[in-house]
Amino acid sequence: MLNRIERALVAANRWLLIVLLLAMACIVFTNVVLRYTTGDSIVWAEEVARHLMIWGTFLGAGLVLRFGGHVAIDNLHQAVGAARARWLRGLIVAGIGVFCLAMTWFSIQYVWATRFQTTPATDIPFAYVYAAMPAGFVLLFAHLLFIARGYIRDGRYVESDEMDAESAASL
């Protein structure tokens, strides 16, 4: 049951990222073509592309963590014994978990504080843009929970035929 939930979360997260990147690429491409063919550009294109990039960054962070794509310094893990390395990895997971939960809390407060401010071109509340932060940190925390046991025990991340740490980092 838990594996099915994990697979569904990963699949939904990936497809959402694909749709966001596709929309962003289409908007930017259309704007560039219009600018060079007609001399006019879409007024809201740059703003919407930026907001999609913000959402993509926060929603993609959990997938990057899952496959080991974030920057990490693992020399200390390799220098100490197996038991100390497990303890150190447990401490790292706990620290990342606390950070994610704290950032979720503070980003919810930030979203609430910006709910009446609107974007200049599209006139939508900034809260919709900044809602990417709590959504991203909740997803990051969920992905952390799914990989925590394997990472603490063996120091490994999730392996996939489609994704490795280097590919994940390039997202």
What does the pLDDT look like over 68-90, one tens digit per residue? Answer: 888 777 788 788 888 999 999 99
Q: Is 114 exposed, middle or buried (0-12, 13-18, 19+ CB in 10 A)?
A: middle
Count of CB atoms situated within 10 Å of the CB of 143:
23
Query: How far, in Å, CA of 146 to CA of 66, rounded?
Result: 8
Is 142 in contact with 9 (CB distance < 8 Å)? yes
pTM of the model: 0.88
Q: Is 64 exposed, middle or buried (0-12, 13-18, 19+ CB in 10 A)?
A: buried
Report residue 89 as tokens: 């990895």
Domain span holding position 84: 2-169
Mean pLDDT for the chain overall? 91
Is 27 in contact with 45 (CB distance < 8 Å)? yes
pLDDT at 136: 98
Q: Is the pLDDT of residue 120 over 80?
A: yes
Between vectors from CA 65 to CA 62 and to CA 68, what angle results, nearest 5°? 155
Q: Is the pLDDT of residue 166 over 70?
A: no
Q: Is the pLDDT of residue 156 over 60?
A: yes
Is 165 in contact with 139 (CB distance < 8 Å)? no
Domain tally, the chain: 1
